[in-house]
Amino acid sequence: MTNSPTGGRGYSAGRGRPAFDATARAMLLDALTAGAKLAEAAAKAGVSRNTPAQHAKTDPVFAAALAEAKATGRTVRAQSMPHGESRYNHAGCRCPVCCRKATAARTARRAAAEDGATERARPIPITGRTPETPPSFSLARAS
């Protein structure tokens, strides 16, 4: 195989796998850095979501750039998340707004659970089989 822009796999333009060239890599890394998730960034670059991981296995420079872009993207997503219970639980934000909202939501869930506990705590009646419902299998032994 020759050294082609498709990575030396012998695919011609328009056939086979899409090329993961420098332009596609730059688009992927830019989207990841901006906060997109890997599947979204790969779709924007026009490749499968598995393609970056495959290239990162063989290209240590790209692997480092991919890891850095993912870390930056996680930070961007965490900072853009609105303050509230979700940010408290998932991003570990302990600002006064997030703490107050998480405490209020937790208190409301506990109160609702205590109110509903008496309604749900009923014994399950064990009545056995009724004559109208036949067994799903034969209980008679073949002699």
Contact 7, 13 (CB under 8 A): no
Cα angle 12, 15, 19 (rounded to 5 degrees) comes to 70
pLDDT band at 14; cut points 50, 70, 90: low
Question: Using CB atoms within 10 A of its CB, is residue 28 exposed (0-12), middle (13-18) or buried (19+)?
Answer: buried
Taking 90 as the threshold, does the pLDDT of residue 132 lie above it? no
Q: What is the pTM of this model?
A: 0.56
How many angstroms separate the CA atoms of 71 and 23, rounded? 21
Model confidence over 78-96: pLDDT tens digits? 888 899 998 898 888 899 9
Taking 90 as the threshold, does the pLDDT of residue 113 lie above it? no
Report pLDDT for 130: 57
Model confidence over 38-73: pLDDT tens digits? 999 999 998 999 999 999 999 999 999 999 999 999
